[in-house]
């Protein structure tokens, strides 16, 4: 069965669900496009990797620890500072643990020349908050925008800082950007909210070739059904991240009408 929402299901933005949604969408877009692009183009699934520790990147070559002398409570330079004596029992603490992040994306390549014609990116939470993930994606974005490669950027996450668009004050829950290499700095922005169907968009190729239309709504509903998210999501609970008061009221009425909320 499809999602009860007309377009993007906000419950799938939950950290437990989003990694699977991201990878399944990458796979389904590739599966959808490949037969339409053969034999002139091939759809390549690529992976961007980087190391993080918590919210910040891990630097290599920095000493493991820094030793400082114990503060003296009687020192005139530090009045009224209590000295924490070593406890008799250890205290449980949390330390940053390096983590390898992998982000999949698509490249449409011309078979004869192996040139990347179009890049397709689905944004991850790490791309929309400060840190190594956003830094690396912004560098990749700028690299693409400095060439003739077309860029499709799909943002299905409400949280975080959207990617910059010059001179545009449009606010929306979700965005799809189609930026053609021959129209820079212009691009086509599809802005939509949870109340809307996910818009379809064309896939830019070389100028002499017809452009397939990507029906992201159809692919999304297929993923929802195949992965059985209807059996996993409890729609009686609030979504994570939470909706605004107005959007939550709208979602409540929708879910009650569909018999998914008591």
Cα gap 262→255, rounded to integer Å: 9
| Range scoring the smallest mean pLDDT among 51-65, 165-179, 240-254 | 51-65
260 token code pair = 């998914």
Domains parsed from the chain with CATH numbers: 10-53+98-257 (3.90.1570)
Q: Is the dihedral of CA 51, 57, 62, 64 positive or negative?
A: negative
Confidence at 129, pLDDT banded by 50, 70, 90 = very high
Closest CA to 211 of 191, 192, 188, 193: 188
Contact 204/118 with Cβ under 8 angstroms?
yes
Neighbours of 124 (CB within 10 A): 23
Neighbours of 257 (CB within 10 A): 10
- pLDDT tens, residue by residue, 15-34: 999 999 999 999 999 999 99
What are the counts of helices (DSSP H) followed by strands (DSSP E) for the chain?
Answer: 4, 9
67: number of CA atoms within 13 Å, CB side?
0
**Can you tell me which residue has the tokens 């449980």?**
92
84 token code pair = 């924490």
* Preceding omega of 39 cis (within 30 degrees of 0): yes
Residue 64 DSSP symbol:
S
19: helix, coil or strand?
A: helix
What is the reported pLDDT for 57?
Answer: 39
What is the reported pLDDT for 65?
Answer: 32
DSSP code string of 23-34: HHHHHHHHHHHH
What is the reported pLDDT for 89?
Answer: 83
Contact 18/65 with Cβ under 8 angstroms?
no
Mean pLDDT score, 149-167: 93
What is the reported pLDDT for 168?
Answer: 67
Average pLDDT, the chain: 88
- pLDDT tens, residue by residue, 243-256: 999 999 999 999 99
- pLDDT tens, residue by residue, 58-106: 333 333 333 344 444 444 454 555 556 666 788 888 887 878 888 999 9
Reported pTM: 0.83
What is the reported pLDDT for 81?
Answer: 55
Question: Burial code of 214-237, b = ≥16 C-beta within 10 A, e = fewer?
Answer: bebbebbbbbbeeeebeeebebee
Query: Quick check: 132 pLDDT over 90?
Result: no
Cα gap 99→222, rounded to integer Å: 31
């Amino acid at each position: 069965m499809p999602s009860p929402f007309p377009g993007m299901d906000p419950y799938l933005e939950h950290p437990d669900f989003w990694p699977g949604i991201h990878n399944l969408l990458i796979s389904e877009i590739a599966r959808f496009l490949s037969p339409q692009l053969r034999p002139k183009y091939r759809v390549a699934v690529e992976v961007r990797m980087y190391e993080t520790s918590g919210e910040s990147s891990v630097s290599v070559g920095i000493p493991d620890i820094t030793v400082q002398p114990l503060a003296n409570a009687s020192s005139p330079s530090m009045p009224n500072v209590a000295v924490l004596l070593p406890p008799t029992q250890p205290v449980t603490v949390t330390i940053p643990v390096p983590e390898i992040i992998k982000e999949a994306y698509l490249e449409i390549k011309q078979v004869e020349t192996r040139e990347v014609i179009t890049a397709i990116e689905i944004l991850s939470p790490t791309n929309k908050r400060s840190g190594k993930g956003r830094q690396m994606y912004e560098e990749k974005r700028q690299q693409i925008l400095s060439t003739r490669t077309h860029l499709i950027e799909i943002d299905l996450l409400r949280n975080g800082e959207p990617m910059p668009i010059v001179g545009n004050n449009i606010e929306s829950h979700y965005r799809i950007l189609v930026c053609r290499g021959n129209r820079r700095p212009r691009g086509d922005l599809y802005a939509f909210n949870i109340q809307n169907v996910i818009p379809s968009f064309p896939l830019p190729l070389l100028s002499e070739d017809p452009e397939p239309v990507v029906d992201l709504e159809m692919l999304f509903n297929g993923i929802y059904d195949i992965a059985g998210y209807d059996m996993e999501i409890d729609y009686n609970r609030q979504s994570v991240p939470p909706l605004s008061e107005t959007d939550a009221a709208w979602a409540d009425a929708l879910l009650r009408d569909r018999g998914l909320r008591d």
